[in-house]
Structure 1
Amino acid sequence: MTTDFPEPTRISVNGVQLEVFEAGRQNAGNPIVLCHGWPEHAFSWRYQVPALVAAGYHVIVPNQRGYGNSSRPAAVTDYDIAHLSGDLVALLDHYGYEDATFVGHDWGAFVVWGLALLHPNRVNGVVALSVPYQERGEMPWIEFMEAVLGADFYFVHFNRQPGVADAVFAENTFPFLRNLYRKNVPLAKPQPGNALINLARAETPLGEPVMTDSELAVFVSAFESTGFTGGINWYRNLDRNWRLLADVDPIIRQPTLMIYGDRDTVARAERLPEFVPNVEVVSLDCGHWIQQERPAETTEAILKWLAQLDAAQHCRG
């Protein structure tokens, strides 16, 4: 870890232990929780933590279940949205908070969206990076992706061929993460097979590195220790999540900031304001790894929005 990233503690919540990096305890009463994506780590928020502390926030950054030194339950169903959002609720309970602002990137955004739907009274604001609100639709998500994108699409592959990608990534942890964490990657024609498995086996990375070698080493070390199955199990619950959310009010009513990367391959949500009526949208000139590719701009966008949120809450108060 870099010297300014907090030391972790392990906290028992919701039947698991989470490795949590905490900063700004002097700002108790003003919590913000940062939720990483896949295949990531709490360390992905290293640029945002000091600025949020300086702005007066108690910053709580968990390695979510399946990651780092947090618990990695064996059962696939232990990684559904009920469990993942339940971990965050229990984390608030641990610190004695009724609610908090939640920030999520990639899969972390999906979890924060789910948390806001399942436990709306525990979320006072949402910041989502890369992954917008996902409409539930009439067909379970994996079934839909299989029909539209085919069996080799990695979401589908993870579900239909359990263990295959996990093993390839584990055998090639360094090249996989080195090849994945890139920016300014030139567009290329799709190749046959699973794109991420191909990436893990590629000898030469494309584009430019997102991280320094020492930063990348934090991620590589973590996944060499844990493997990838815990994180991939989040994907293996998408259809289960689709069913769990069947009877939930689908509207996100909290104030929300959506940050897109202009060159991200994740699709934008055309109907976002219909499901997230209180949303502000910001676009940055970057790819998928938004808060690491454009740290200063990401932090500035979040802080500006938080100041607006704080001012509005004070007006209401």
Structure 2
Amino acid sequence: MSVIQHERIQVNGIELSVHIAGPEQGQPIWLLHGFPECWHSWREQIPALAAAGYRVFVPEMRGYGESSAPAGIADYDLLTLCADIQQAMNHFGHQPVVMVGHDWGAVVAWHLALLEPARVSRLITMSVPFAGRARRPVIEIMRELYADRFNYILYFQEPGVAERELDADIERTLRLFMQDQDVFLQKKPANATLLEGVSAPGTLPPWCAQADLDVYVKTFSKHGFRGPLNWYRNFERNWQRTECLAGQQVLQPTLFLIGDSDPVGVFEAHTLKRMPDTVPNLQQQVLANCGHWIQNEQAQRVNALMLAFLART
């Protein structure tokens, strides 16, 4: 792996931990991780992008690892998360940048593209598609659809509940997430817990060595799952605060990647169909035999698609 520098910067009322690699004069490219991940989720992309001449910036997002983890739920709304990265770009004097995001990092990346149309020149998102601001908060729709059956996002809503379960054995929790993505698609009663009935974890998948898992465990051992879960507790606030973005299109050249076995594809099937209307300059790739942890499960394929897209645009 390329030599990685580590900086802690003061932005938006918090300390943001940022890992940096690549030539100092290279074009900035930001890699935003999702849940339950960390900066190390981009371990296969950092050296490839640095070798291609990019200056790579990989933050530990608010609530994760060495970055601050404020106590309030409202401290994790979407525009606040975006402001962390906007102010970090200001700190480093960035213009223009390539923005890359996976999972929740993709949600932040999509909205940064809307908020920063001049500064975000190109966009690469993975797993979570975008079709604009919904007509009402998504959490309202989910409560109607899952009134009598389990849904992990609804389970995450009550403060203190999910974190007690997930924090009880952080390594076991992360092993289960890495090994069995169907944890998020279980069919069980609405009052169940996320890991209820899930078998004990076995061998790690080939893309996640024990040394890699150790980095994830260290990340979540710092603050636990409370901060990351608070991202999920702002759907209504996010909807309210993004009214100014209603109807806007993402106009930047965009590459979207998703695995054909990604559970998010099930949840977001309708959004995937509508996405070209909201993102007119869009290239999409579905990776075969690939689940949710796309940049790790098929790292070489993802790297090749990213570099080819960046070379063309």
Residue 196 of structure 1 aligns to a residue whose secondary structure is: coil
* Aligned CA distance change for structure 1 residues 70 and 50 (closer, same or farther; 3 Å): same
Q: Which runs of 5+ in 1 are unaligned?
A: 310-317
What corresponds to 1:234 in structure 2? 231
Aligned-residue identity in percent: 39
Contact 1:185–1:208 (8 Å) recurs in 2 = no
Does 1:254 pair with 2:252? yes
What corresponds to 1:10 in structure 2? 8
CA displacement 1:181-211 (0-9 Å, x = unmatched): 0269799962335463337x64245994540
* Aligned CA distance change for structure 1 residues 210 and 164 (closer, same or farther; 3 Å): farther
What corresponds to 2:279 in structure 1? 276
Aligned residue runs from structure 1 range 166-245, under 5 A: 166-182=163-179, 190-192=187-189, 193-194=191-192, 196-198=194-196, 202-205=199-202, 208=205, 210-245=207-242
CA displacement 1:23-68 (0-9 Å, x = unmatched): 014334x110000000110000000001101111000000011001
Aligned residue runs from structure 1 range 109-188, under 5 A: 109-150=106-147, 152-159=150-157, 161-182=158-179
Letter of the 1:291 counterpart: Q
Contact 1:8–1:22 (8 Å) recurs in 2 = yes
Report the number of matched residues. 304
Q: Cα distance, 1:262 vs. partner?
A: 0.7
Does 1:299 pair with 2:300? no
Letter of the 1:127 counterpart: I
Residue 197 of structure 1 aligns to a residue whose secondary structure is: coil
Q: Cα distance, 1:136 vs. partner?
A: 2.4
Which structure carries more relative contact order (alpha carbon 8 Å, separation 6+)?
Answer: 2
CA displacement 1:253-290 (0-9 Å, x = unmatched): 11100001011011241111000000000111200000
Greater Cα offset, 88-97 or 176-185? 176-185
Greater Cα offset, 279-288 or 188-197? 188-197
Does 1:52 pair with 2:49? yes
- List, as ranges, runs of 4+ consecutive aligned residues in structure 1 with deviation greater than 4 Å: 183-189
TM-score (norm 2): 0.90
Greater Cα offset, 42-51 or 112-121? 112-121
CA displacement 1:191-236 (0-9 Å, x = unmatched): 335463337x642459945401111111012112210011111111
Superposition RMSD in Å: 2.3
